[in-house]
Chains A and B, each alone.
Chain A
């Protein structure tokens, strides 16, 4: 398998605060990688560095061989991103927003692709509602749909399941698992350990900007160790 995402000594400072500290990591194609860590540990900053939304202070990040800081637009063309908090524009309807993203990404068959996502995530009845009037869950569905609309090979997803109901959560988890089975790669940032344990193929644990663990999830399962206990021990010892 090819390397899909690679970080070499990736470091990001915000003034005196070192948000990401000397992070070196590579993720192969077909992995569903979960980046876990407590609040403020540097997960979102790492995603932003990988997708060229932030420039690193030191080090480099490449996605499918494209340097994220040197060619951020190219990276964002080939990947899908679900940002942590961002809401879709207030005064477009959910259908218009999907069309808006599809047009920016210069896609074909926009109507068909957008309708398919509206149906799959079960919010077709909300397609004419302004984004500002959507519930949090529906906004999250919309952000999920925009990230996968152009059928990317890699997706960076930041806490994508928190506001979804159990039925849609199941659908989304199944989708993510089939996405990686078909050769896609997911970089999944979360602090919900149960979800990571359930769907990730490998995990990395980050604390205070430093990577303190990286390994396949099956190693933990083989040792009959719960991710939660393992995580808490690592973070407390760090």
Chain B
């Protein structure tokens, strides 16, 4: 039992360190701790705009979401692994080739996730917070309860996703019925029941009953998954008529039409599609909108629409990650194309999908009745988006989903981007129309991208 667990932890570490670079990946928890430390120093300031309780709840939900994503990757990440490593063969999938039961493997897999991600994320986060507490005159006891609450939140996320996946393995229809019923029940009851986001308000007033409740939320779904474990997922072979030709004909005005068509098909056919736009783009934008609303209380001179357009530029740069997510240059290396050709094609796909961002910008301009600032907002969005994209292309080439986890590259990314962001926000406060000059940044972005092409063409061979 312990041998398998030890093997799985080693395996997880080696997967990560081979993806993100051994030493740089080892630095990741340290960076996280430093960021938690710095973030915690701002708590006295943040307290003036957002109630303390809400702050803790946001952090708890962040860890719960993290648990959900770790669990999802563990269960559905095989495809991603195969794209990265050729034919990945992880211990989690070895029950058919080794004399080990699926339950044994699953139990070890679960315990491995708990231990590994606790030390990778939860512990450094709580430690950074603990180091900051004496400086902001907060009782050290809170660091212990934050550690416990974050760990519980993470475990809840993990057990929920395992629970869902077990149902999914038995019946996709049953899972759909459960999810739809939950959504309907929540929407109906929301008007009648005072819905509290505090599932486990243990942090502020610890009690035995709350911790017991949290443990039940973790153990019941996990036990269910363990008892009803099934590893064969319902898989449907999907068939598609040739759409590549049709799409590339439609886009033939674009030099990279065949690559762009492939990207759009990848995007549409891979898990996500429209859901990805809603959850990974529109949802974070809504969060940013709320954040700006809160900031407005603190800095009333902010031009909400223009500041939103600046953040829209940053968020939309993540589209590039979507297009590179399932692709690896190895799939093209034997064809007569350079790395830079593939990067250029991804940039073209990026420009096309950014029509969605443009639609959001127009919608917000009309909704907030801020059309007068549309031009500076549009130019800020385009400039920041180009610059953020150029930075990613230069630093990470075709592997942003991998390389941005490398501590050194992530810091470089932050250092290249954040000063500029502050300058843009500052200018928007002085006079939003100063931002009409922002396209100067596009020239700089062009230069950075060109250097990126050269860098990645030379690096690949």
Contact = CB atoms under 8 A, between A and B. Distances in A.
A130 interface: yes
Nearest to A77: B336
A129 B239 contact: yes
Given A99-B242, A128-B239, A133-B238, A91 B338 contact: no
Interface stretch (B125-133, B287-295, B327-335, B379-387): B327-335
Interface stretch (B69-77, B80-88, B419-427): B80-88
A84 to B, nearest CB: 9
A93 B245 CA distance: 12
B334 A93 contact: no
A91 B331 contact: no
Instruction: Indicate the member of A52, A54, A100 with the most B CB atoms within 10 Å.
Output: A100
A53 B333 contact: yes
Interface string A58-98: 00000000000100111011000111011111111101100
Given A85-B86, A100-B244, A130 B238 contact: yes
A105 interface: yes
Q: How many residues of A sit at the interface, in one of the four size bands?
A: 35 or more
Nearest to A81: B334
A91 B235 CA distance: 15
A101 interface: yes
A208 interface: no
Contacts of B269: 91, 130
Interface stretch (B97-105, B221-229, B258-266): B258-266
A86 B335 CA distance: 12
Contacts of A51: 334
A74 B82 CA distance: 29
Nearest to B82: A87
A234 B343 CA distance: 46
Main secondary structure of the interface of B (DSSP, over half): loop
Nearest to B337: A104
B51 to A, nearest CB: 45
B414 interface: no
A132 interface: yes
A86 B326 contact: no
A147 B335 CA distance: 9
B333 to A, nearest CB: 5
B342 to A, nearest CB: 10
Interface in A153-185: none
B243 interface: yes
B240 A86 contact: no
A6 B83 CA distance: 33
B237 A96 contact: no
A76 B458 CA distance: 17
Nearest to B332: A104
B440 interface: no
B280 to A, nearest CB: 18
Q: How many residues of B sit at the interface, in one of the four size bands?
A: 20 to 34
A130 B330 CA distance: 19
Interface in A176-231: none
B241 interface: yes
A103 interface: yes
B219 interface: no
Interface in A11-60: 51-55
A130 B79 CA distance: 13
A91 B334 contact: no
B244 A73 contact: no
B442 to A, nearest CB: 29
Interface string B245-281: 1001000000000100010011001100000000000
B155 to A, nearest CB: 32
Instruction: Indicate the member of A76, A90, A99 with the most B CB atoms within 10 Å.
Output: A90
B86 A76 contact: no
A129 B269 CA distance: 12
Interface in B426-461: 461
B82 A92 contact: no
Given A81-B334, A92-B244, A99-B242, A86 B79 contact: no
Nearest to B328: A86
A76 B335 contact: yes
Contacts of A86: 86, 330-331, 333-334
Nearest to B80: A90
B82 to A, nearest CB: 7
A177 B237 CA distance: 36
A129 B242 contact: no
B86 A93 contact: no
A95 B242 CA distance: 7
Contacts of A95: 242
B461 A53 contact: yes
Interface string A127-161: 11110110000000000000100000000000000
Nearest to A84: B86
Contact of A128 (B240, B326, B327, B331): B240
B461 A52 contact: yes
B79 A96 contact: no
Given A99-B244, A99-B245, A83 B262 contact: no
Interface in B167-222: none
Nearest to A130: B238
A87 B243 CA distance: 20
Nearest to A136: B87
10 contacts: A73-B338, A77-B336, A83-B333, A85-B86, A88-B331, A90-B326, A92-B244, A93-B239, A105-B336, A133-B237
Interface of B: 79, 82-83, 86-87, 235, 237-245, 248, 258, 262, 265-266, 269-270, 326-327, 330-331, 333-338, 461
Given A91-B326, A100-B244, A133-B235, 10 more contacts: A55-B461, A76-B336, A83-B330, A89-B326, A96-B240, A103-B258, A104-B258, A104-B337, A127-B242, A129-B239
